[in-house]
Structure 1
Amino acid sequence: MSPKFASCPICGQPSQMKTRPFCSDRCRDRDLLQWLGDGYRVPGAGVTEDAQKSSDYGVDSDPD
């Protein structure tokens, strides 16, 4: 008996062992592009530009 896999999260076709959980390289690449292009986001409060700079460089935003 072969293992049963879930359907592809992009197109709904049966997933393949080689590209699991996707059905093909095409669907896997589409998912990657969604992540790289900010297509998937977690809802929440936005980050101000000053807060982003200070967290990126580990410095305070107040240069006293």
Structure 2
Amino acid sequence: MTLKVPCPNCTKEVVWEASSEYRPFCSKRCQLIDLGEWAEENHKISQTISGATPLTEDMLDAMEDEFLLNNKFFVEPE
């Protein structure tokens, strides 16, 4: 079964598959129209971020260690 979704801009039906280059948009034109709307701040996420956990020094150290493990090009040569 093929999933079909409406284009967020013009509501034309779009097949949801890898060959649909601009999904969920039907075309590059609709994609650029939507991007322009965001750039002009006509669209925005209005809900505040809830449940934000304050970062501790240990949490920051763990995130840094994980980042460095996955991004070797940031490690200084020995």
| TM-score bucket (shorter structure) | 0.5 to 0.7
Q: Pick from 13, 21, 25 the counterpart of residue 22 of structure 1.
A: 25
Quote the residue 2:51 is aligned against.
none
- Give unmatched runs, 5+ long, in structure 2: 48-78
CA RMSD of aligned residues (A): 1.9
Q: Count residues with an aligned counterpart.
A: 43
The alpha-carbon deviation at position 15 of structure 1 amounts to 1.8
More strand by share: 2
Q: TM-score normalised to the size of structure 2?
A: 0.47
Q: In structure 2, which of residues 36, 41, 44 is the aligned counterpart of residue 38 of structure 1?
A: 41
Percent identical:
33
Gaps of 5+ in 1: 45-64
**Aligned mates of 1:7, 1:43 — CA distance in 2:** 23
TM-score by length of 1: 0.56
Q: Which runs of 4+ in 1 moved over 4 A?
A: none
